[in-house]
Each structure stands twice: as C-alpha cells, then as structure tokens.
Amino acid sequence: MTVPIARLAIEGGVPVRSVMLPYGHQLVTDDDVAAVAGALRSDWLTTGPLVARFEGDFAAFVGARHAVAVSSGTAALHAAAYAAGIGPGDEVIVPALTFVASANCVRYLGGTVVFADVRPDTLTLDPLDVARRITARTKAIVAVDFAGLPCELDDLLAMASASGAVLIEDAAHAVGATYRGRPVGSIAPLSTFSLHPVKQMTTGEGGVVTTASDAHAASMRRFRNHGIDLDARQRGDLGTWTYDVSDLGFNYRLTDVQSALGSSQLRRIPQWSIRRQEIAARYLAAFADLPSVELPATAGDRTSGWHLFVIRLRLERFTVDRAQVFRALRAENIGVNVHYVPVPWHSYYRQLGHRRGGWPVTEDAYERMITLPLWAGMTDQDVADVINAVRKVVVAYSRDGAVAR
C-alpha cells in the first residue's frame, strides 16, 4: 500500500508541530542550578578552585593527563594552535567542511591554511587528500570529528608523525565519543572541545583542551591568562604580588561559576550520550526506506557523540531544491539547520586566494545537507514529530511519489 501525501504546511496545510523544535538545545537540571548557586555564594567567581576541579573532572572523564579550560571552543583551538607552535610561514591542513574557527585559529597566529577534502561516507578529514597536501612547511593537521564521529585518528597520527607535524583534534562535536575503544580526548597530542549550549554539555560558553604534554598544558595555561606565569589564586596561595608575563597571551579564562556548571553537567554525559544514540538509531531506522535521503555513516570501530544528525538529499530524486525542502521543514516547525558552508567559500578566505571547485566531496555534500534536531532533552514525541515531518516533506517532493511501507 502507499501512504497519502499530506498537505504541506508551507502550502497551507497543518504543521506537524505547533511550536518550533530547535536543532540543538542545552539541558539544565536542578543539580546544575544548585552547583552554580553554590559557586555564586563562594569566595571565587572567576578563575578559582572550581576551574581546577572541573579540569580534573574533564581530564579523568576522557582519560587525559591534562585538561585546560578556556572561555570558548574557539579559544581552545587558538590555545592548541599556539601550543603546537604555529606561526608565520607554517602551513596547517584543515578540512574544508567545518565551522570557520577550525581555520581561523591558524590565521590568528599568522599561519597559512591549506584546505583538504573530506571522506564521502563520514564527512571527516580524508587522509588520502591530506597526504597529497603535506609539504615541508606543514606544521600541523587539524582533524574535525564532524557531527560527533571521530575521524581517522590512527592514520592521521601516523601521517603527522612522519611529516614532523602536530595533530590537533577538533573534537568540538565529540564529547563522549570513542575511537577503537579509546575516549576522544586521550588520543591526539592536542584535542579541543566546545562547551557551547548546543553541544553535548555546556558551561554557557567555554572550551577545553586535553593533552598528555606537561609543556603544552603549562603553555596554554599562560596563554589563557595574558601570558602570566602565576594566576591570582596562585599568587594568593604563595603570598606574593609579583608575576611575570613570559608570553603574549589572551584573556581566555573560564570562571568558577561556569566550571561549577561544567562539573555538574559532565556527570550526566554517559546517560545523555545513550539518549543521543537512541534518537539517532530511531532516525536511521525511520528513514532507511527513503531512497531520496542519504543517511549519516556509522563505523563499527568508533562511537559517535551524535552532536549533529546530518542527512544529504539525493536532489536528482526531488522536484525541488534543498532550499525548498529546508523551508518546508521549517514550516512544519522542525528547526533544521545546515552545517556548514565550506570555509573556503567565505569572503575572508576568498580574499586569501581560495576558490570554489577544489574540494568536490565537501562542496557536493554542502549543497545537499540538512541537519535534523538531535539533543538529549528531546522527548519521544519530539523525535516522532521530526520523523513525521521529514517523511511528509520528502514524500511530497519526491519524484518517486509516495513511499511504500
């Protein structure tokens, strides 16, 4: 039998939902509120004992020797790039498909961004394309765990080591993910995380860099605090007012208030990861019979953090373009998004000489992708609404007509 096509909301029909469902959203509990209130009543609001506690909690969670907390995921990338020694004349390979901060951190330090393409299945950095772009000037490789799925870390680590480069894992999407049995954050020399509200956990704004290197950790702690060798709490503990500025640093400090929230949220990552996996599994099953939709890849040797659930439309099977499908889903009150516009396409990078056409997998994926809502606080009804809306819109615009059940 076939399913009748319901009238789309964009054409005057009744939307699947009465209120918009965002693609991502924070989940804050009473325990989080209590933790923040406790910090507000304490002697420290900015960088104090709760920052150190949060860093210890995060390092233990991912199995890293050090965790350095900073004010944003972008600051984490900047600090990691600084610790890697990137400077003028250095080349850094970055995937063309990522948020712009993955590349901007190189430019902040005067380095040259060399964009590489991604794999057609996982949309993570393609080691084969990386190999073609490595030169004697390659200082680092920034590998992005796109949508939460860890990239080819072992291959990229070997390539970086052989070329004398540093691997920086941009794990902004991948809190709670694993690669070949190892937690993300314990594998690369430098791994960066984002704690923005749409991520798996949040500190409002914030970021973390994990590393096994004592030297890298010390360098990044100075970097986040104006290049100062002793922060205010350390000076108080030592009973001294003197300090030295040994590096050119920034004010990238995380506060105790934010750290209290971070430690509280971190305790629920295991259960929130399970919920994200459940939602992703429901989507994968629900859309498996839609020939016009390409589903995100999974891999048996790694677990995704499922920050994003990105589908790709097989546009040759549609009667409309991606923009119309996007608008139709929004009209059904499903807060879809697109991640991301290829970084080389942005005007700043075009001014540096980058042109369209050099990254065929990235560019094809961008033209066809739509991000569906996925966050731990979604109810079963929210998930059902997304499934119903996607099927409703895809069937209405499909050249193949209604999908057989």
Point out the residues that are catalytic: 199
Contact 10, 327 (CB under 8 A): yes
Alpha carbons within 13 angstroms on the beta-carbon side of residue 371 total 21
- Continuous H helices in 7-94: 30-40, 49-62, 73-83
Rounded to an integer, what distance in angstroms lies between the CA atom of residue 152 and that of residue 120?
Answer: 13
Task: List the beta bridge partners of residue 184.
Answer: none
Rounded to an integer, what distance in angstroms lies between the CA atom of residue 10 and that of residue 158?
Answer: 50
Rounded to an integer, what distance in angstroms lies between the CA atom of residue 77 and that of residue 350?
Answer: 22
Phi then psi dihedrals of residue 51, to 5 deg: -65, -50
Long-range pairs, 238-247, Cβ under 8 A, ≥24: 246/222, 247/219, 247/222, 247/223
Count Cβ neighbours within 10 Å for each residue of 341-379 and write b for 16 or more, e otherwise.
ebbbbbeebeeeebeeeebebbbebbebbbbbbbbbebe
Contact 291, 84 (CB under 8 A): no
- Continuous H helices in 125-255: 127-133, 153-163, 214-223, 232-238
Rounded to an integer, what distance in angstroms lies between the CA atom of residue 292 and that of residue 220?
Answer: 47
- Residue 114: enclosing H or E segment and its boundaries? strand 112-116
- Kindly state the tokens that stand for 350: 């075009």
Contact 288, 280 (CB under 8 A): no
Question: What single-letter amino acid sits at 213?
Answer: S
Cα–Cα distances in angstroms (integers) from residue 397 to residues 206, 288, 333, in the given order:
41, 17, 18
